[in-house]
Structure 1
Amino acid sequence: MATKLSSEEVADLWRVYKEDQAAGRKDERLRNKLIETYYSLVRYNAERVWSKLPEGVDLNDLISAGVFGLMDAIDAFDLERGVKFETYCVPRIRGAMLDELRTMDWVPRLVRSKASKMEAARKLAEAEFGRPPSDGEIAAKMELSAEEFDKLKTEANAVNLVSLNKKWYETDSYKDVREVDILADIKGEDPTLGIQKRDVMRLVTKGLNRNERLIIILYYYEELTMKEIGTTLGLSESRVSQMHSSIVNRLKDQLGRRRPEFD
């Protein structure tokens, strides 16, 4: 376990590291000591971000991304500016974690583009008619047939799974207000039921890979069709159906072996 440095030792460590950096040298040993010194900030922020995310995100992935953000902050930090490093580095740490979450995003960029175009057409039609437009009126704005619009609408619906960590607005502090902070609870679900559902989800999806887990979630929880899931994941409808059957058979076998635990 690393020995905690005093404030004077940390100041000396910074001074020597920055002097070496200015001279074109990079002492990895000194930088590693600085990383150890501020690692608790990485873990603290990773746990805060992770606590607000859906199942399936690995805390260690966020921590690893946060360490890279910390390393960038150490290299870019200017001792002469009179700003505390803790204040300076936290936005970079959190930014690196959010970048990592964006790379995990399973909604294809093309799907997001289609959803944006449909939303823009809806707003134009609403402004023109002074009321919520019908699908036919939106389709007319986009110069699409009814069949083409229905297909686009199905594909765009994949965007409806929104990250709870999405930024809502910035504050003067490092802690931005996120989607989860302002999200209204319109269902009023019993907390106990929510815990039970999460436990079931964790049990059911344990051991599944990314695509298999998404198929289960999208089919049984989001109630998408096999065709819609295929569009979302970039797979054919027949391939999704084949994977679904394989997953269900595997889960039946697993649950059958564990039946005595529930008796």
Structure 2
Amino acid sequence: MATKISEDIVDVWIAFKKDQSDQTLRNRLMERYLPLVRYNAERVWAKLPEGVDLNDLMSAGVFGLMDAIEAFDMERGVKFETYCVPRIRGAMLDELRTMDWVPRLVRSKASKLEAARKAAVAKTGRPPTDAELASEMGLGIGEFEKHKAEASAINLVSLNKKWYETDSYKDVREVDVLQDAKGEDPTDGIQKLDVMKIVTKGLNRNERLIIILYYYEELTMKEIGSTLGLSESRVSQMHSSIVNRLKEQLNGRRPEFS
């Protein structure tokens, strides 16, 4: 049976090389050698950090297989499996290079920093300080800080990486727990509003506006004066008076803030 399969594939090769525009023949060859793509993709993927998609490697490997099929010369006496594997793996490695945005210089700086860290740990038996790392690398502290900042660009995190597994159908991933540093906590706004109501209770219109515009809108005394039609000095006097009155009132209302 194995001999028949071998003879069949040879016939397909001969027919395809006579007419390489025949898509049906090419597809038969692709199907025959597709397991080589998966096998090599899994071997490459196993050595990579988490976050690289196996399917991306396989897709690149398929293009490598297509190129190998079109370029293969049967008359050279080389087995196609031997010929195509370097092309499949090469296509995968090219894909990895296009996925990697970190410049070579950054990687070099990161490698030097890591080598210095390992050397310092070997000497001291503990994690080194920045000063010790700078000394190990022969750099001034300023140069070291710059080197460290440039090398840190290599630290990437896949937002699709699994954070932890759950009992539900969907695992929690990095993107689900990523903190939005620019986002505002809605409770902060509610708390500020509550405090503002307590603080401005009992003040007249101008007094409330001075407190709100100065502490919440962050306007200057001059800008508040222009808004209220008052002089800057008058706003300052009123502000001082309000603050003194509020201090006296708040001392007796501490339970409301606890």
Q: Which has the larger radius of gyration?
A: 2
Relative to the length of structure 2, the TM-score reads 0.49
* Structure with more contact order per residue of length (Cα contacts < 8 Å, sep ≥ 6): 1
Relative to the length of structure 1, the TM-score reads 0.49
